[in-house]
Amino acid sequence: MREAMPKAPRGRRIRVLIAKVGLDGHDVGARVVARGLLDAGMEVIYTGLRRTPEEVVRAAIEEDVDWIGVSTLSGAHMTLLPKLRRLLDEQGASDIRILAGGIVPQEDIPALTDKAVARVFLSGTPIAEIVDYLLGQTAHA
Amino acid sequence: MNDPKRPFSPEVKTEAERWRRETFDPAAVQRPERKPFVTDVGIGIEPLYTPADLERIGFDYLRDAGFPGEYPFTRGERPGMNRTDPFVVSAYSGFGDAEACNRRFRKLIEIGAEQILVALDLPTQCGYDSDHEMSTAEVGQVGVAIDTLADMELLFEGIPADSVKRIGTLGNSIGPIVLALYAALGEKQGIPWSRYTVNLQNDPLKEYIARGTQILPAEPAAKLAADAVAWCVGHAPHWSPMTVCVNHINSGGAGSSMGTAIALANARHYLNLLLKQGYSIDEVAPLLHMFPDERHDFFVSIANLRALRRIWARLMKQTYGATRPEAMACRTTVYGHGQEALAEPLNNIPRTAFGTLAYVLGGASYVYLAGYDEAVSTPNEDSARVALRTLQILAHEHGFTDTIDPLGGSYFIETLTAQVEKQILDGMERIERAGGALAVINGGFGRQVMTQGAVRRQRAIDSGERPWVTVNLWPQKPNVPNTAFRGDPKATERQLARLAEVKASRNRAAVETALAEVDRATGEGANVVPSVLKAVRAYATVGEIVELWRKRFGTFLPSTEF
């Protein structure tokens, strides 16, 4: 790993788990975001492809992350994201928040941000925007 | 002027240098160039190309360009190219269940699709039946669900296998199974294998670094893919059971030149497996097609196709000792893209049209074109129609296809072809030194190249270095419209009901016997296709066959590097 720049506020650096859930194998976006967050001084773990929601939740709790960034491109977001949220809550990890990135139709976003996820970033969002959001959220926390 | 290979006066070089010094450079001081002109593959573009550039690259017309249909096939692999054998207008489509998808296929054929490639949903591609736990929420989403031969029968109801030029699918990690399904489909329709043509992608090696539908470890996966090719040598030598892809490797970040080098290393891996089994290069090479890809730079795309044909021809002849022209002629399938954006999706129509025009000018044999909404979801009927119509316009209007290799001989294109060729050859040498195709996958080289490239591209977009209209020029908020295709829950229900019905009505003993035979053939390292064919005829499911392979070979380990 490269020397990370300590840009994040507070003593602890933001910890993010980037996850691919389900069968979708396109992970370029996930890896580019992972690299971008690392470069911005965050601690980043990537799950690798084809994980079940259970596996992702286990990894998130074990790794004590602040955020799970889920890449979703194949259209399974309305099933997989709420399931992830439910599993986190059931296992006492309500403090771990979820970000979704990828392809999500406009009309699905309110339903997702209402309960399951904090924010949806569509494909093509500049990395800086995601970094700013995470830093802002942590500063307010 | 005495050198016959020198078609211009040596003064051209001196004059070109003078022009640069006396005319261009002073002007560029007054009005600076608007940006550095560097292509996605890293080749810088000069303001002007002249005969002096051809001399610089040592261009020899007869050696490097030649004639269409003849070695080294730079100008085209078919003698008459688009004048006699127009590129095949192709459609890639699939969603929901076989019943819904059949209606779309009929429509596409009615409006002129000459080849139908079936998009499979992710469970099918990854070897899970629709009723498997891993298939939750994915059935019929990014393609059509195929569990058994019964789905194929329904999918092609009213569409005889020989009614279009080619039928097929990707099936990268389930190659022998999809091959068997298409062979059994012909039997069901009463059409002999000699009367129709099946095209598969069946290129598992690129999945590990680029596309992500890998199931098994790479080595057995490549062997099973090679089995599909080997079976065709004996049973259907005119089929194209393997299309080795640059496409996903480039778009994933490698860039088109390194992507081509990796794809050629993959092709060599499959060919070597077949040669080791005793097949000759003249038998097997004609069954492999290549799937080149370049989406960023129009002229690089043309140069890439020309360079690829030249490299393939020389590789087959010089390295493998091929003697048949068919083994040296590289047939290409392309999928026309541009840099499609989420904002204002209709702009993707000109983007994909320009990207595809480059492939047509570069001499592609089978041409697909992405739907304008494909960045978002499975194309809807309207965008599928526009894609086909665009291909038909490229084929018939504007005179794009009137002469062969229209840009051949251009100072710019020949120079760029030589530069791209060198990048590809250098890449192949690096891969060879690293240990070949499997080392690219297992040793991390592939992943490294991909991530570095993807990060470089993202930075070029974020910084504005790579201009992109509506993204970093006149930026618009990206939007995924509510009209984007969605999986149909009713299609999933129908699919699950059909699978249950097939499982209940099939001859259980026949299925067990056939599966045992697949398992035995797999264990013995024999060609699996004959036994897989028996299994699909008995309505064994895709998942049941793949499960045997998972048990025997284990599954791939996903990499957590980024």
Q: Measured between CA atoms, how close is A104 to chain B, in angstroms?
A: 6
Indicate the DSSP class of residue B128: -
- Residues of chain B with C-beta less than 8 angstroms from the C-beta of A27: 212
- Residues of chain A with C-beta less than 8 angstroms from the C-beta of B214: 25
* 8 Å CB contact between B387 and B373: no
- Residues of chain A with C-beta less than 8 angstroms from the C-beta of B485: 75
Q: B489 CB near a chain A CB, below 8 Å?
A: no
Taking CA–CA distances from B206, the nearest residue in chain A reads: A25
Clarify whether residues B24 and B118 are in a common domain. Answer: no
Out of B142, B207, B462, whose CB is closest to A74? B142
**CB distance A124–B478 less than 8 Å?**
yes
Percentage of residues in chain B having pLDDT higher than 90: 91
Out of B141, B342, B454, whose CB is closest to A31? B454
Report yes or no on B50 lying in a domain: yes
- Residues of chain B with C-beta less than 8 angstroms from the C-beta of A19: none
**CB distance A74–B138 less than 8 Å?**
yes
Going by pLDDT thresholds of 50, 70 and 90, the confidence category of residue B1 is very low
**CB distance A32–B487 less than 8 Å?**
no
Out of B207, B377, B481, whose CB is closest to A75? B377
> Whole-angstrom Cα distance, residue B385 to residue B383?
5
Q: Would you state the structure tokens that stand for residue B291, as one six-digit string?
A: 């799937």
Bond from prior residue into A82 cis (ω within 30 degrees of 0): no
Percentage of residues in chain B having pLDDT higher than 70: 99
Interface test with A, best of B447, B471, B480, B550 (most A CBs within 10 A): B480
- Strand order of the sheet with strand B88-93? B198-200, B166-169, B115-118, B88-93, B366-369, B333-336
Q: Is the pLDDT of residue B105 over 80?
A: yes
Taking CA–CA distances from A23, the nearest residue in chain B reads: B122
Q: B559 CB near a chain A CB, below 8 Å?
A: yes
* 8 Å CB contact between A78 and B136: no
Average pLDDT, integer, range B206-228: 96
* Residue B104 CA: distances (Å) to CA of B153, B157, B377, B545: 15, 12, 16, 29
**CB distance B376–A75 less than 8 Å?**
no
Whole-prediction pTM: 0.95
**CB distance B480–A122 less than 8 Å?**
yes
- Residues of chain B with C-beta less than 8 angstroms from the C-beta of A30: 562
* Residue B25 CA: distances (Å) to CA of B17, B30, B31, B32, B547: 11, 9, 10, 9, 66
Phi, psi angles (nearest 5°) of residue A126:
-60, 140
Clarify whether residues B221 and B332 are in a common domain. Answer: yes
**CB distance A127–B458 less than 8 Å?**
yes
CB pairs under 8 A between A and B: 120
State the CB neighbour count (10 A cutoff) for residue B516: 13
Taking CA–CA distances from A121, the nearest residue in chain B reads: B478
Q: Is B485 left (phi over 0), alpha (psi -120 to 50) or beta?
A: beta
Half-sphere exposure of B498 (CA within 13 A, CB side): 24
Clarify whether residues B17 and B94 are in a common domain. Answer: no
Name the stretches of chain A with pLDDT < 70: 1-11, 140-141
Which residue type sits at B319? T
**CB distance B122–A74 less than 8 Å?**
yes
- Residues of chain A with C-beta less than 8 angstroms from the C-beta of B253: 28
**CB distance A44–B562 less than 8 Å?**
yes
Residues 200-259 of B with CB under 8 A from A: 207, 211-214, 251-253
> Whole-angstrom Cα distance, residue B193 to residue B170?
19
Clarify whether residues B30 and B93 are in a common domain. Answer: no
> Whole-angstrom Cα distance, residue B546 to residue A88?
32
Clarify whether residues B297 and B190 are in a common domain. Answer: yes
Domain end call among B397, B431, B463: B463
Out of A31, A76, A127, whose CB is closest to B451? A31
* 8 Å CB contact between B468 and B347: no
**CB distance A27–B212 less than 8 Å?**
yes
Report yes or no on B504 lying in a domain: no
**CB distance B122–A22 less than 8 Å?**
yes
Out of A26, A35, A46, whose CB is closest to B455? A35
> Whole-angstrom Cα distance, residue B295 to residue B358?
9
Coil, strand, or helix at residue B4? coil
Taking CA–CA distances from B143, the nearest residue in chain A reads: A74
> Whole-angstrom Cα distance, residue A84 to residue A56?
8
Going by pLDDT thresholds of 50, 70 and 90, the confidence category of residue B489 is confident
> Whole-angstrom Cα distance, residue B431 to residue A130?
35
Report yes or no on B182 lying in a domain: yes
Clarify whether residues B31 and B135 are in a common domain. Answer: no
Mean pLDDT of chain B: 95
- Model confidence over B444-459: pLDDT tens digits? 899 899 999 999 999 9
Bridge partners for A19 per DSSP: A70
> Whole-angstrom Cα distance, residue B183 to residue B167?
11
Q: Measured between CA atoms, how close is B331 to chain A, in angstroms?
A: 27
Clarify whether residues B89 and B196 are in a common domain. Answer: yes
* Residue A51 CA: distances (Å) to CA of A47, A121, B178: 7, 21, 26
Report yes or no on B481 lying in a domain: no
Clarify whether residues B286 and B246 are in a common domain. Answer: yes
Q: What is the ipTM metric for this complex?
A: 0.86
Q: What is the pLDDT at residue A6?
A: 43
Task: Give the per-residue SS3 of B321-365.
Answer: CCCCHHHHCCCEEEEECCCCCCCCHHHHHHHHHHHHHHHHHHCCC
Coil, strand, or helix at residue B473? strand
Report yes or no on B392 lying in a domain: yes
CA B300 from chain center: how many Å?
17
Residues 268-297 of B with CB under 8 A from A: none
Half-sphere exposure of A41 (CA within 13 A, CB side): 14
Clarify whether residues B264 and B293 are in a common domain. Answer: yes
Bridge partners for A46 per DSSP: A18
Q: B375 CB near a chain A CB, below 8 Å?
A: yes
What's chain B's length in residues? Answer: 562
Domain end call among B422, B445, B463: B463
Q: Is the pLDDT of residue B246 over 80?
A: yes
Q: What is the pLDDT at residue A12?
A: 83
Q: What is the pLDDT at residue A62?
A: 97
**Concatenated DSSP letters for B109-126?**
HHTT-SEEEEPBPHHHHT
Half-sphere exposure of B444 (CA within 13 A, CB side): 4
Q: Is the pLDDT of residue B200 over 50?
A: yes
* Residue B134 CA: distances (Å) to CA of A59, A85, B439: 19, 18, 29
Out of B137, B484, B559, whose CB is closest to A22? B137
Clarify whether residues B449 and B422 are in a common domain. Answer: yes
* Residue B113 CA: distances (Å) to CA of B348, B359, B541: 21, 18, 29
Q: Is the pLDDT of residue B370 over 60?
A: yes
Out of A46, A106, A128, whose CB is closest to B562? A46
> Whole-angstrom Cα distance, residue B146 to residue B540?
12
| Domain architecture of chain A: domains with CATH | 15-140 (3.40.50.280)
**CB distance B458–A32 less than 8 Å?**
yes
Report yes or no on B497 lying in a domain: no
> Whole-angstrom Cα distance, residue B466 to residue B202?
34
Out of B134, B212, B485, whose CB is closest to A25? B212
Q: What is the pLDDT at residue B535?
A: 98
- Model confidence over B527-541: pLDDT tens digits? 999 999 999 999 999
Q: Would you state the structure tokens that stand for residue B503, as one six-digit string?
A: 């499982």
- Residues of chain B with C-beta less than 8 angstroms from the C-beta of A107: 482
**CB distance B462–A30 less than 8 Å?**
no
Report yes or no on B475 lying in a domain: no
Q: What is the pLDDT at residue B521?
A: 98
Contacts for A76 with CB less than 8 Å, ≥ 6 apart:
A21, A22, A24, B136, B137, B138, B141
Coil, strand, or helix at residue B398? coil
* Residue A74 CA: distances (Å) to CA of A48, A124, B253: 16, 16, 20
- Whose tokens are 């060729």? That residue is B421
Q: What is the pLDDT at residue B397?
A: 97
Q: Is the pLDDT of residue B483 over 80?
A: no
Q: What is the pLDDT at residue A2?
A: 40
- Model confidence over B495-552: pLDDT tens digits? 999 999 999 999 999 999 999 999 999 999 999 999 999 999 999 999 999 999 999 9
Q: Domain range holding B38?
A: 11-62
**CB distance A122–B136 less than 8 Å?**
no
Q: What CATH number does residue B125 fall under?
A: 3.20.20.240
* 8 Å CB contact between B539 and B511: yes
Coil, strand, or helix at residue B243? strand
- Model confidence over B32-86: pLDDT tens digits? 998 899 999 999 999 999 999 999 999 999 999 999 999 999 999 999 999 999 9
Contacts for B314 with CB less than 8 Å, ≥ 6 apart:
B72
Phi, psi angles (nearest 5°) of residue B557:
-100, 120
- Residues of chain B with C-beta less than 8 angstroms from the C-beta of A80: 137
Q: Measured between CA atoms, how close is B155 to chain A, in angstroms?
A: 22
> Whole-angstrom Cα distance, residue B525 to residue B230?
13
**Distance linking the first and last C-alpha atoms of chain B:** 56
* 8 Å CB contact between B199 and B166: yes
Domain end call among B444, B463, B482: B463
* 8 Å CB contact between A18 and A71: yes
Average pLDDT, integer, range B458-462: 93
Q: What is the pLDDT at residue B6?
A: 65
Average pLDDT, integer, range B350-363: 98
**CB distance B561–A46 less than 8 Å?**
yes
Residues 323-342 of B with CB under 8 A from A: 341-342
- Model confidence over B258-273: pLDDT tens digits? 999 999 999 999 999 9
Of B194, B133, B124, the C-alpha closest to B155 is: B124
Report yes or no on B264 lying in a domain: yes
Clarify whether residues B159 and B25 are in a common domain. Answer: no
> Whole-angstrom Cα distance, residue A11 to residue B330?
59
Which residue type sits at A27? D
- Whose tokens are 């020198």? That residue is B6
> Whole-angstrom Cα distance, residue B70 to residue B81?
12
**Count: domains in chain B:** 2
Q: What is the pLDDT at residue A10?
A: 54
**Concatenated DSSP letters for chain A?**
-PPPP--SSSSSPPEEEEEEBSS----HHHHHHHHHHHHTT-EEEE--SSB-HHHHHHHHHHTT-SEEEEEE-SS-HHHHHHHHHHHHHHTT-TT-EEEEEE---GGGHHHIIIII-SEEEETT--HHHHHHHHHHHHHH-
Torsion of CA B7, B11, B12, B16, to 10 degrees: 170
Q: Measured between CA atoms, how close is A94 to chain B, in angstroms?
A: 24
Clarify whether residues B18 and B101 are in a common domain. Answer: no
